Every structure is written in structure tokens, then in C-alpha cells.
Structure 1
Amino acid sequence: MSERLTLPVLPLREVVLFPGVSMPIGAGRPTTLRAVEAALKSDSRLIFAVAQRENVESVTPSVLYTTGTLAKITQIQRGLGGVQLLLHGEQRGTALHYNDNGRYLEAVVREVEDLAPLSLDDPAFVALHREARDRAAELGEKSGLPEDVVRQVLEGVTDPGRLADLVAGYLEIKPAERQGLLEMLSVEDRLRRVLVHVQRQIGVLNAQEHIKSQVQEELGERQREMFLREQMKAIRKELGEEDEATEAEQLRKRLEALDLPEAAKKEVARELERLERANRDSMEAQVIRTYLETVAELPWNKRAEESLDLKRAAEILEQDHYGLQDVKDQVLEFLAVRQLRQRSPQGVPRSKPDEEQTRGSILLFVGPPGVGKTSIAKSIARAMGRPYVRISLGGARDE
């Protein structure tokens, strides 16, 4: 059984020190400073570094873990607010008893040995040890450490238990998980648990690298686009086409201000790119500009209130047209059916329009010029209280 030691206690907040690992620690609490001075007066310069269960200012034995590390103070730097220590973890230890001597906390500590595997030559354990070493080297390189430094550090540690402690000391994990690794005496279990954390951290670094490359690629594309646009502006200025660029930019702003459906947005963006690449005087540019201006003038997601008063509609049709009784009857029938679709069988307006109600209806007027097709359409719009819009489809193609 190992001997018992009475050592000053160094409480650690959000930090766990592992054997074989050197770590800078700041100390500023009066009781901690007195414990450090007591350790410096001893020949061994040992202090019991143990983590706190809770991050509190006033430390009592109840907030300290029982498993900690016997650490040697290798360097000390004094300042106005306290001291900066460089500790080197020497050995695991268990506090058998904490005591407050009135000046600082001290603990009766017994050194704890690792539980080695039954056979160090067991193939499974050898494979575990080798995998942990390889993954630790990979993690060090992905973290930005030079390859030769990582290799030199790992080659200096041959003991599997020490390797697990060394890697655990540099893992980005929660303090409670670090404490769990410190309390794990089985070398095989500790090595396996460290390997899981290492592989998880490698996965996080890989994901970060992937996200970083995507962001850089996107930023690169945007910077390239901005650079090319500036070049195009300079070229147009030299060619005297600056007004065209201003016109295209104004058209772009008008279109971006519209509340377009997703499919329409993609089509408009594609046509804008074509317009910016096309020569101003080309037929293609004229067609694209006309198309985009038409899109900008359309009343997207705007709907006028309509009136379906059949009596008023009949009066308007009679005022605007003489004769054409068959056409007037067809129009009134169309309006009556539309009115019925907006009402329930009891005559109460529906709270939600059904599919039939939301479908648009089309009236087609066929005849030679001058027989009243356009004037009938204007009368229908006036009777329904909706604006009249004339769109010419001459030369239009369905592609």
C-alpha cells in the first residue's frame, strides 16, 4: 500500500490536471495563496490539485472531489492580483480526509496506481493502443500543431496509461468528463474512452473545415462577381454605355422589390443575367428588356375587391351597349355562377374558399374588329369594380 501524504490543497475551477501534463494555473484567493506558499516551503514542492464540484468562491471540503493529482510547482510568477503557477502532474491521488487548519485546506492523500490490463501483448489492447496513438496524432495535426512536434511528443510517451492522460489533458471536453477520465483507473477503459472523445473531436474539426471551405468558396464567388461587375462598369463607361448600366440596375431594383413566387424569381434572375451580357443594340436585349419590364409592371400578389351585384351589372351592360342580348345574357350568367360559388348553400359566405372558388374563369370573345369585344370586356370590369388591363399576346409563344 502506498504511503499517505499530507499536502496543501489547490482547488481548481473548471480545470482538471492529469498526471504527466504541465499546465499554467492562476491563483488569487487568500487561502489558495497560503497553500501555495506552504507547498513552496517543502522540499518536494508538491500540492494536491483537485477540481471543485461547483464554481464557488469560498471552498469547503464538501465542494471538492476526492480524486485529484499530486502536482509539483515547477515555476511561479508573482503579480499584484496573485500568482501564476506552472504545475506538472506527477501521480493520481485520493484524498482520504480534508482538513481546514485555519490558514488553508490540506488533505491526507494516498497515491493511486493504474489498473493495467491482464496482458499488455493482448492483440485487442495493442490495436486499441495503436489506434489511440494514431488518432491523437491526427487530432494534433488538424488542430494546427506541426507534424514533427506531435510525433516527438507522442514518441516520448510509451506507457498506455500515460498516453491516455496526455491526450485527455488537451481534449476540449466538459470538466465533469475530464474528472471522469481522471477517476478511471483501468488503463484499457480510459484509453477506450479517450479514443471516443478524440474521434468525436476529429469529426467536429472535419465538419468545421467543410463549413469553412463552403463559406470561403461562396465568398470567393461573390468577390469574383463583384470584381467582374466593376470591370463591366468600367468597360461600359469607356464605350459610352453608362446609361444602359444605370437602366439595368434600376430595372433590377424594381424586380427585387416585387413579391415574386420562387419560380418567377429564378426566371427573372436568369433573364437579368442574360440582359447584362447582351449587347444593348441587339434584338435579344430588346426582347429581354421588354419581358422584364412587363414582369415589373404586373400586379404580383395584389388583388382588387370585386362586386358581384347582378342588377348593377345588367344596368351597366345596358348603358354601354345596344343590342347584343345573347352576349349580355352569357355575361350575366357567368357573373351569377361566380356569385353562387362564393356562397354556401345557406347563402352565408364561406370562411375559406374551396378549390373551385380559387380557380380563375376565362371568357373568350370571338369576332371581327369593331363588333364590341373590347367594350364588353371593359363593361364587365366596370360592373365587377375591377381594373381593366389590356395585354397583347401577338407573337407570344409557349416555350
Structure 2
Amino acid sequence: MVDTNDRRQIPLLPLRGLLVFPSMVLHLDVGRPKSVQALEQVMETDHQILLATQKEISIDDPTEEEIYHVGTLAKVKNLLKLPNGTVRIHVEGLQRARINEFVQLEEYLQVDAEMIEQEDAFLTTENQALMRNLMTMFEQYTKVSKKISAETLASARDIAEPGHFADVVAANLPLKLAQKQELLEISSVKDRLVKLIEILNNEQEVLGLEKKIGQRVKKSMEKTQKEYYLREQMKAIQKELGDKEGRSGEVTTLREKIEQSDMPDSIKEKALKELDRYEKMPANSAESSVLRNYLDWLIQLPWSFETEDQLDVIRAEEILNEDHYGLEKVKERVLEYLAVQQLTRELKGPILCLAGPPGVGKTSLARSIARSLNRKFVRISLGGVRDEAEIRGHRRTYVGAMPGRIIQGMKKSGSINPVFLLDEIDKMAHDFRGDPSAALLEVLDPEQNNTFSDHFIEEPYDLSKVMFVTTANNIGTIPGPLLDRMEIISIAGYTEEEKIQIAKNYLVPKQMKDHGLTKGMLQVKDDALQKVVRYYTREAGVRNLERQMATLCRKAAKMIVSNEKKKVILTAKTVEEMLGKPRFRYGLAEIEDQVGAATGLAYTTVGGDTLSIEVSVAPGKGKLTLTGKLGDVMKESAQAAFSYIRSRSEELNIDPAFNEKLDIHIHVPEGATPKDGPSAGITMATALVSALTGRKVKKEVGMTGEITLRGRVLPIGGLKEKSMSAHRAGLTTIIMPKDNEKDLEDVPESVRNDLTFIPVSHLDEVLKNALGE
């Protein structure tokens, strides 16, 4: 009987060679993309899915006509993604359901289905009699067939509900799929019990005939037939003995490798014990291949072999300078580590985190560190990693289990003291499969990583001699406990002078080599590099600069191959001819002093930037409007600046009632870009005072600092990055909080020499230096 009240749209999982009855609980492996997509969909909702059987097993993408229209509504109790791309689910059948129509066929199958209520489901006298009859026949069948376990029989005896009992018996009988589907489609419990009695009666007759035929054949077997049978058996035994000899040879080889390896005694003992298990295990056993794989990993992992460091500080400094221009702090930290190693000969590997915008050379710097130390280099990317097993490995109970990326990297390096780069550590995620960043806590803790535990290896592994280097664009997204274990080294970006030197010494020679050009074919002048840096790139790093150099090399190669020129000389003029009109205006400072417009300095994940803040005043009722996609903190800074100006209106020569007579609009251009943070406080206050008094803001002045209601200027972060952006934008004066004076030593000397820094502690000082007469 179809329950029209319980009708719903639900994802469908087609089954091949399998049918699930209500109340059945089983594991399924799912590999088809549409089926996996359907499972991901139900895991986000109510975990319920419709299971229906295909008519043909061989069809990979079944249509409506190729799927039976009566199936079982099931609940997905658990879902596990396996390394080979398949998904293992634990499902429980709930209720019969009929498919009315297919709603979706593209991404995954979704159907409109109605639940089927069981008829005659009550324990009537007739049903009770049918159940007893069926139970007796089921017991007899079990004794004869030997295909059904005693536990299954015992559990069937305990079932009192007729419909459930019929489904359990049907599920455990070795029937064809068509017969099982026929039983699934019978909604009447009484009819189902009768049908099962007929099937069992027929099966018993067939079993009886098979037994008689077997006995007759056995009696009629003659002596020659017996001898043939025995000879065949002997051949099989000899074949097995031959395999045993093959396994024995393999075991001997593995034993020699284990004895010769550099494993600690405790690990060696465990490996030999597992090898004994492997020797006694049947060759076709599933666990045999897993155990063999495990032994291979134990043998191939480096346990005590380490490369010898070249503890020459002067040579290391030469290598670092050869590979990278600038980046003095990072180089100094590596040389300090080398110097201490030279004195002590033993030091736990540091955990360095190179943080900075894209394109500043974080990953290539880690490679140079390995070269300067004469160590092996291993890199793994953590961007988008969601599964904890990626770090800690899978337990060996799973099919296709393998170690985590850390152990894989150690095997690849072949030594216990490589430079190990964990790239993009700020881009890890977490979901129901675990939190990989939490699994990294043990890896990156110098006090714990000498006994790192991988789920696959199961034995403690020493990572204390590894020099871990991590990279991140934004340390704000790294969890606090993980960040606490790392030594942060910020790489802010490069000045114009540094970019020109990097292009001259590194990028141009590299691109010329990649494009088959020699010095006799292409010559690049310094003014050409300066023009590319100023007018064709605007970034903290040099990645886009390298792309522009590659473009120039391609165009030069084309000219030479087409005999247009024999030698190309790049100057500021020819750069514009080859790259087109300038993409950026060098120097974003205002062209002239303006009323109500001030330049602020901002810090973003891709370096520093300038921020123009504009204020317009119009007659009105005192309405304050804020636009430009501002965050809550930035809006509060504007409110604080507004309140301060109201409290000091007389000293600033502003009409005390301006908030009742004028509407004020504060706008930060580039409205599509989200902006937040407190450091624009003094910039907003200056622009407001300028708009209300008519005094112009000096065009060459940039400013940064948080403001309080009493006009105090509080310190901010990222002064180095902000100073570099001001220098890039053509500003000459920076107003900054007095408490940030200590950060001036981080600003590159070339930038410090070109800019005038004015430390202030109160807004009055800001206005004095920022506003004209």
C-alpha cells in the first residue's frame, strides 16, 4: 500500500548485483562519480538515500528504464573516503519505497518517491502460523545447505514482527536478484510469507536431488577415477609446496634487508615479528599484501642515516646571496643556526615560518637554505588539505592504507635531517574527516617530535633533527597553538631598487636562458627595468615582474628569428613599444593639495597599499554616511573621529552646531574591495577637519594611526609594508604613531632616506603637520 502522504524528493544510489531489504545493516563501497555526489548531498541533509537495484550489472551509467522502480529507503550511518577515490558507507534499510519519476539525471540521480506501508503487518493467528511454518523450513534448509550461520538462525528466531522476519529470511537466502526484487515489491506481509514458503520448499527439493546425485556418483567412481583424483590432488599439493619455496626465498631476502637496515633494535624486533606473521599467512590473503607493504615501508624509511652538514658560515652566506637579493633577516637567522651547530654539533631543528605576500621568494628561499646546509630538500603542499590522515597516515586495518605525507617525505629524502618545507600552511581546512592543523602540532613541536607517531607505521619516529620551514601568506588564518610553535620571519616585499637588482641579476638571465637568448642577442638597460617596475607592475613580490620579463624575451626572440633585428636593446622607449601603454600610474599621490581628501596607508595580505579617504559636506540635518565597503572596525574609527571633532569644534574653528546643519559623507574609493582595521582613524579625522574648515590637506603626506575619543594616537601594525607602499606611491612624508618609532629600524634604508617620518601622539600634531594654512 503506497503512502501518498509521505512523498518526497530524495537522492538515488543504484546498486549493482546487490539488493537491500528494510532492517538490513551492511557496508557498501561506492565508486561511481554520480553516486559519490549523491552521498555527499545526503551527508549535508538528513543522511537518507534511496537504494534501488540495476537490472543489468554491466551498465555503468543506468537510465530510468534500467533501474527497478521499487527500492529501499536507507539511512547512511557513516561515510569514509578511501585513498583510491572510492567511498565506503555504513547503511541501514528503513522502509520500502516506490519511484514515481526521475527528477534529476545530470550531477547525481534524484527521484520523486512514495513510501510503501506494509499490509497485514499485524501478528494475526494466520501470520503466526505462516511464521512458524517458514521458521521450520528455514532451519531445515540451514542444516542441509551449510550456507547460513548459526548466529543468523538464532537472530531470526528472536524476531516477533512478521514483516521484519520475512525480510531477514529473504535477505539470507541465496536467491537470484530478480527473485529478491519480486519479494521486495510484495507489500503484503502474508503474501510475502507464503511466497518464501514456496521458495524454500522448492530449494529443499533441489538440495535433496543434489545430495542423491552426489551419493550416486561417489558410489560409481571406479578405481581409475580415484587414482586420477588422487594424482590431481598430489599435483595441487606439489604446486603449493613450490609457492611455499618462493615465499620462503622472499622472506629470506626481507629478513636480510631488515637485519642490514639502520632501524633501532625495538623497531627491528617488531619488523621481524611481523615478518614471521607474513611467512605463515596464505599468499592470497588480503592482509598479506598489506603486511608486505608495511615491511617495505619499515625497510625503506631512514631511521638513523643523516647527511653531514657543511658547517661553513661564509660559504652558506655566499650561496644565500647568490640565490636571493635582500631578505637579510632570514639569511641572518640561517647563519645563526649554522654558527651554533658549528659550536655544539647538536641542536634541535628550528621551526621557521616565512610569512609574506605571494611572489617574494618564500618557497625558493627554503630550497636555498637546504643547499647552503648541504641537506636533502623535501617539499609538501598543504593548500586545501582537509583529512587528518594526510598528516598522520591511515591505520593498517583499512584497504589501501598508507603513511601520511610527513613519513612519505622522510622516505623520499632518505635521511633523518632534511630541510622539510610545509608550503601554504595557512590554507589548510578541516571538516568531518578531522583537523590536519591539529595533527601538525606534534610534528612542529621540538619537545615532542622526537617520538612522532604515524598511524600506519605505529612506531615512534624521530623528527627532531629535521629543519622544518613553513610558508604562509596570512598568519592570521593559522590556528594559535600551531602558530605558537613556529618562529615567524616576515618578508614584507621589495623596494623599487631591490626589484631592479633582482630583475637584473636573477630574472633577466633566467628568462634569457629559458627563451634561448644570449647576451649578444638581447641587452636590457637599467632604465628599461625601472620603467617595467614602475609602470607595468604593482606588487610586493616579483612574480608579475618575471612575467613581464618573459614577455619581453618572447618578443625579442620573435624579432631575431624573423630577421627583423640581429640584436635587441631594451630601453625605456622600446619597453613601451613592446608592452603597450603603461598599466599603472607611478606615484599615486594627489596632484595638488585638496580639501576633504587625505591619503591613508593600509596593510593587506599582499603587502602595503595607499588608501584615499574623501569627505564631502552638504547642508542637511547632521546625517553621517559611510561608503566604500567598510568593515565594522573602520566604521567605528569614523564614528570616533566624528565624536572627537564635535568635542573640539571651538578649538578647531568649526561651528559647534555643524552636526545639526550639515550632512557628512565619508567615502573610501575602490568600493568593491573590503576594507577594515583601526589604522585609518587619524586619516578620517584629518579629512573631516579639512572638509569642515576648508583647509587643504598636503598632497605629499600619508598617515596611519588609530584614534581615541580624546584624540590620542595609538600604535598600528605593518609599518614596514605601509612605508614601502607610500614610497611606491610617491609620498614624501609619513605621519605615524609615536609608539611605532621602534619599528622604523625594520624599514629598508633606501625607503627611510627618501621619506620623512613624523611621530605623533595626539591628533593636534597630526593636523598641524597635515593641513595647510
More helix by share: 1
Specify the structure having the higher radius of gyration (Cα).
Answer: 1
The structure, 1 or 2, with the larger RCO (C-alpha pairs under 8 Å, 6+ apart) is 1
* Structure 1 or 2: more strand by fraction: 2
